[in-house]
Amino acid sequence: MSWIGRSLPRLEDPSLLVGQGRYVADLARGAAAVKFVRSPIAAGRILGIEAPEGELVFTAADLAGVRPICPILHRPDYIAVEQPVLAKDRVMFCGQALAIVVAADQGLAEDLAEQVFADIEAEDAIIDFEGALAEGAAAVHAHAPGNVLVEGKLRSPGLDAVFADAAEIVALDLRSGRQSAMPLEGRGGLARYDDISGRVTLYASVQMPHMLRTGIADTLMMPESDLRVVAPDVGGGFGQKMSLFPEYVALVWLARHLKRDLAWIEDRRENFLASAHSRDQAFSVRGAFAKDGTLLGLDADLKSNVGAFSCYPVTCGVEPLMALAELPGPYKVAEYGVRSRGVTTNTGMMAPYRGVSRPMLTLTMERMMDVAARRLGLDPLEIRRRNLIDTFPHRSPTGLVYDEGSYKEAMERAAEAIDVAAFRERQAKARAQGRHLGIGFSVFSERTGYGTPAYAARGMGIVPGYEIVSCTMDPSGFVEARIGSSPHGQGLKTALAQLIADELGTVPEKVRIISGDTDATPYGWGTFASRSMVIAGGACKLAAGKVAVRLKIVAAVLMQAKAEDVVLEDGLARVVGTNLSLPIPEVARAAYHQSHRFPEAGPGLVENATYDPGGTFSNACHACIVEVDVETGGVTIERFVVAEDAGLLINPMIVDGQIHGGVAQGIANALFEELVYDETGNLLTVSLADYLPPTIAEMPTIEIEHLVTITDASITKAKGVGEGGAIGAPAAVLNAIVDALSPYGVELFQMPATPQRIRALIRDAERKAHG
Amino acid sequence: MKPASFVYVRPGSRSEIVAALAEHGADGKVLAGGQSLVAAMNFRLARPGVIIDINRAGDLDYLRPSGDVLAIGALTRHAAFHKPPVEGPLGALLAKVVRHIAHYPIRQRGTFTGSLAHADPASEWCLVAATLGAEMVIANNNGERTCPAAEFFRGTFTTAVGEQDLLAEVRLPMLGAGWRSGFHEFSRRAGDFALAMSLAALKLENGVITAARLGVGGVSDRAIRLSKLEQELVGKPPSKALFQDVAASAQAGIRPTADIHGSSEYRSDLIRAVVGRALTEAAA
């Protein structure tokens, strides 16, 4: 009996559902409170910092000898920038840490923080592309005049020719507002100092515990072995918790310096101000189309506002270079030209957020397909049909190799589920009553589960990608798998237990997955980039497979059979074609306690395995129906269909959960969330009254159709699925809004499509109509 | 997100509260439901020296219909209006409006008079009080006085309630037979502050509007009662054209405030939409 493909309830959930999750703040009782004093000024020179005498207040001067955070890309077009743990001579963005205070509790720490005064000579802040890229603009970083920290360029030789010959050229300017990944739990850390060993244990709400340890140890110039990093229960990350932040370096420094336990628990305002941002992008893209709708070429100028610093380890290249590499998405396009820049400004640092550039890339391609279809008199689905990739492996113009997928099939499935013909009838009737319904589609690819080759190709100084898993069956037949991935809400432990249970003929309840502790797990990269099911899953399958080989050898000796005739299933080691069997725990015990009898297997049941795949592409089509209230600009999502191909589903319920969460964040991007700076670089959206994640009241029911393409690119046959919901949803929503407003002839290229932006488009159209 | 330190007192009755207010003067701040005050304190935007917690003053927890007014005591929670608190048009109106106030848990704690005393420009209850012409009962150590809604609201977070005063009671006029109401609010998400909202109450007799109340909230520093437009409605039969005209006049007469969620021009468009819809609902 196989556990794969079963919607097993998540093994992680019982403690979370009864309020017994252990988050950093739960562990922090009794620790002194750390509070960071942050700059209220976006750009300026620090003239001095005054602090009350006799209190625990630390500034950059105290941290002399601590190295700045400085991630590297080995590219000639990359300019490395140093992020100090505390601002030294200059402040670079509003919210940057200037000083640290330590007090007995949080309230006292906040009182003390108010008594620290920074004298800052303010300068004009550069906050947007216009300011940063203007002729003669001041340099945010003195050694990076021009304010471009990374710039990638490509141009295929035939590009100009296809534009010269094009029947239709579609030129679009698209804009995505700045967003926060906004995990429910903010960042936070508890640093515990051990007097005897001198070691520090840092409990932190992070996605990449091993990377954090390396980063902190390098910055503080200490041996990694003196630091243990533990990610306990983590309340969401979505990419925001995969970078090395100055606050964690400061905590470990403080613990070593003060030799006491210290906790920093971020509040929501601080999370908005000082944690990572993303998606502040402006794309100008031209598409050359033949008369029949064939996309002949793409010419793109892509800009990403990366903020004041470069995130460690993936660098500020993460958005611009993803944009450069993956713009064509699921479409065949022979000629491609692109310039993609990471632009530095006096704003919060950009770091990955679920989807990384691809929500904007997908918006670009999907809006382009709709605009081209209208101009060429084609049905929106037909123009996609004519351009979607359909032979595999497919090589993209940037050299990416797409494994087998179901791009067209997913689109047809979504169109069928949402019933386009019936909708068009309903739409016409509604319009006659003055109601504006619209339908929108979004087809996309989701590159997942990529290992070191993909990161090495970016030129990253630190090349993530592989996962190592150590799998042990103990003498009682229970299994432990120690993984370098660091799940934080995904349900990965359940899915891995299902996978391992199948390899070892046991049940998921007897498989414990250990993660998120650098003392207890092999070096690994954490959980991000839709990688863990593919890569940690692959390594689990390999490691458990090796344990199974040993078990079979032992069982074969015990039953005087051949190892190749032994199968492991239903808790038994069975000899095929006989009625011989042994309970697996008996075999396991023998492997440890009678090892002298099994020289071929060797003692014990411990195996390591590594998996480092090239990557696999998932694909999906989102289709949605909206109603637009033309008087208010309000949008209601009536239906939302996802036809998704993530390969073999290990646990379909968990896959659905990933899609639900992703679509919610995609809808947030499309309609609601935006971080807004004023012209001085002051962040205006620092609470949930102004930054607006959708609530359950704004969420439609999400209808999911699964397609299953079996790939050779993943040894578990599973593809990644963590980001697709967020990638695809915005384009479907915006296309539906434009369709709803087709009587007004308006176009929409900006996210979030807020009511006031939509109403402004309608107002302009009404004014034009009335002359 | 911890408040600055403060002294906490918890008087047990209305008279003890006004005595405490007299004692602490400008340092004192009344804590009722705390749904705005506590958040402001946690952000350290508000730093009251003395918190006067009125939640144990049982003599302020009442809803009293008496004659032609409904008297609402200072401890009456929003949730008390989930079902109509009185029979007739006023009760129906209040039950219709209350579900737009924030979220269910907040409505269990926040109070009607607390909303009025806080005077957020986007408060639904402030719009109700302004539009219906509520009367406020303001108490202090020297006795009590009444204040009409038109004089009560002075601007954003500013009212006629002085440093030593308690807004002890609010009296809403009962709407008699023949009155019907409509309310429409536009906000970004369910439970968010209104970007614009309108309350309309119409008295219809023999197919003609014989009296009207009309107000707009969320678009200015305080809720606006549109008295002139009320007069335009009176004497006419309800019609789509009439309501569209009145909505357009409302739009033309107000220059709305702006914030990141709505420019002045956008809110201006919303005024027309919400006034038209509130009137239509009232006449339906």
Give the pLDDT mean for A107-132. Answer: 97
pLDDT of A292 over the 90 cut: yes
Indicate whether B64 and B146 sit together in one domain.
Answer: yes
pLDDT, residue A766, reads 94
B77 and B21 share one domain: no
Domain total for chain B?
A: 3
Asked if B260 and A685 come within 8 Å (Cβ–Cβ), the reply is yes
- What CA–CA distance (Å, rounded) separates A524 from A528? 12
* pLDDT band at residue A166 using 50, 70 and 90 as cut-offs: very high
**Domains recognised in chain A with CATH numbers:** 13-123+187-234+241-274 (3.90.1170.50), 281-452+614-769 (3.30.365.10), 466-611 (3.30.365.10)
Nearest Cβ partner for A759 among B2, B193, B266: B266
| Residue the block writes with tokens 């012409």 | B133
Whether residue A33 contacts residue A114, with contact meaning beta carbons closer than 8 Å, is answered with: no
Q: What is the pLDDT of residues A479-496, one digit of tens each?
A: 999 999 999 999 999 999
Query: For residue A118, is pLDDT > 90?
Result: yes
Closest by Cβ to A756, choosing from B5, B190, B263: B263
Contact predicate A528/A209, CB 8 Å = no
Same domain, B218 and B257: yes
Q: How far is CA B146 from the centre of its chain?
A: 17
DSSP 8-state class, residue B26: G
Residue A635: the pLDDT is: 98
> What confidence score (pLDDT) does residue B25 get?
87
Confidence of residue A551 (pLDDT cuts 50, 70, 90): very high
Q: Which strand (E) or helix (H) includes residue A133?
A: helix A129-133
Give start and end residues of each alpha helix (H) in A515-668: 532-558, 584-593, 652-667
**A771 pLDDT exceeds 80?**
no
> CA B11, CA A129: separation in Å to the nearest integer?
57
Tokens 């109403």 belong to residue: A759
- CB-CB: which of A110, A111, A697 is closest to B190? A697
- In-domain check, residue B2: no
Contacts of B265 in chain A (CB under 8 A): 760, 763
Residue appearing with tokens 């309609």 = A671
CATH number, domain of B200, equals 3.30.390.50
**Which residue has 């806080």 as its token pair?**
B118
Rounded average pLDDT over A160-166 = 98
B104 located within any domain: yes
Percent of chain A whose predicted confidence (pLDDT) is above 70: 100
Distance from CA of B146 to the nearest CA of A (A): 34
Looking at the structure, tell me whether residues B276 and B220 fall in a common domain: yes
Query: In chain B, whose CA is at the least distance from the CA of A634?
Result: B188
CA of B191, closest CA in chain A: separation in Å?
Answer: 9
Q: Which residue among B138, B157, B173 closes a domain?
A: B173
Residue B109 three-state SS: helix
CA–CA dist A358, B270 (Å, integer): 34
pLDDT the model gives residue A504: 98
Inter-chain touch B269–A759, beta carbons under 8 Å: yes
Chain B, 234 to 263: residues with Cβ < 8 Å from chain A are 260-263
Phi and psi dihedrals of B160, rounded to 5? -80, 0
Same domain, B167 and B88: yes
Reduced to 3 states, what is the DSSP secondary structure of residue A724?
A: helix
- CATH number of the domain to which B15 belongs: 3.30.43.10
Q: Do B5 and A111 touch (CB under 8 A)?
A: yes
What local confidence, expressed as pLDDT, does residue B207 receive?
95
Confidence of residue A458 (pLDDT cuts 50, 70, 90): confident
Do B165 and B62 fall into the same domain? yes
Last residue of a domain, one of B173, B195, B224: B173
Burial state string for A207-218 with b = 16 or more CB within 10 A and e = fewer than 16 = bbbbbbbbbbbb
Chain B positions in Cβ-Cβ contact with residue A760 (cut-off 8 Å): 265-266
Q: What is the pLDDT of residue A380?
A: 98
Instruction: Check whether residue B77 and residue B41 sit in a common domain.
Output: no
Phi then psi for residue B260, to 5 deg, are -65, -20
**What's the pLDDT at A510?**
98
**What letter does residue A308 receive in the DSSP assignment?**
S
Tens of pLDDT, residue by residue over A190-224, are 999 999 999 999 999 999 999 999 999 999 999 99
- Looking at the fold, whether B64 and B110 belong to one and the same domain comes out as yes
Q: Which of A436, A427, A331 is nearest to A388 (CA)?
A: A331
Domain region containing B14: 7-53
Which residues of chain B are under the pLDDT cut of 50?
Answer: none
Domain-located, residue B219: yes
Look up residue A430 and give its two tokens: 């509604």
- β-bridge partners, B138: B145, B167
The reply to whether A672 touches chain B by the CB within 8 Å rule is: yes
3-class SS of residue B278: helix
- Does the residue B1 lie in any domain? no
Query: Are residue B14 and residue B113 in the same domain, yes or no?
Result: no
Whether B242 is in a domain gets the answer: yes
Distance from C-alpha of A150 to C-alpha of A134, rounded to nearest angstrom = 17
Kindly identify which residue of chain A lies nearest to residue B272, measuring between CA atoms. Answer: A631
What is the C-alpha separation between A236 and A280, in angstroms, rounded? 21
- B2 contact A CB<8A: yes
Chain A, 605 to 664: residues with Cβ < 8 Å from chain B are: 629, 631-634
Q: Where are the alpha helices (DSSP H) in A41-125?
A: 106-114
Selected residue of B8, B42, B188, B197 to mutate for chain A interface (largest A Cβ count, 10 A)? B188
Edge-to-edge strands, sheet with A511-514: A511-514, A479-483, A467-473, A606-611
Return all residues near B168 (Cβ < 8 A) that are at least 6 apart. Answer: B14, B60, B73, B74, B113, B137, B138, B139, B144
Residues B62, B158: one domain? Answer: yes
Altogether, the residues listed in chain A come to a count of: 771
What residue ranges in A407-461 does DSSP mark as E strands?
436-448
- Contact list, A754 vs chain B (CB under 8 Å): 188, 261
- What per-residue confidence (pLDDT) applies to A770? 83
Residue A559 has pLDDT above 80, yes or no: yes
State residue A318's pLDDT score: 96
- Of the three residues B173, B193, B221, the one that is the final residue of a domain is B173
Over 80: is that where the pLDDT of A265 sits? yes
User: CB contact, 8 Å: A754 with chain B?
Assistant: yes
Closest Cβ opposite residue A697 in set B4, B5, B189: B189
CATH number for the domain harbouring residue B66: 3.30.465.10
pLDDT at A230: 98
CB-nearest partner of A676 from B4, B260, B270: B260
What pLDDT does residue A419 have? 98
For residue B20, is it within any domain?
yes
| Average pLDDT over every residue of A407-435 | 98
* Same-domain pairing of B125 and B231: no
Question: Inter-chain contact A698–B265, Cβ cutoff 8 Å?
Answer: no
∠ CA(A161), CA(A163), CA(A168), 5° rounding? Answer: 145
Instruction: Return the C-alpha torsion angle A368, A370, A372, A373, nearest 10.
Output: 160
B18 lies in some domain? yes
Chain A: residue whose CA lies nearest to B197: A632
Question: Is pLDDT of A332 > 90?
Answer: yes
- Is residue A1 scored above 90 in pLDDT? no
Q: Is residue B276 part of a domain?
A: yes
Name the residue facing A695 among B190, B273, B276 (closest C-beta). Answer: B190
Task: Mark whether B71 and B33 lie in a shared domain.
Answer: no
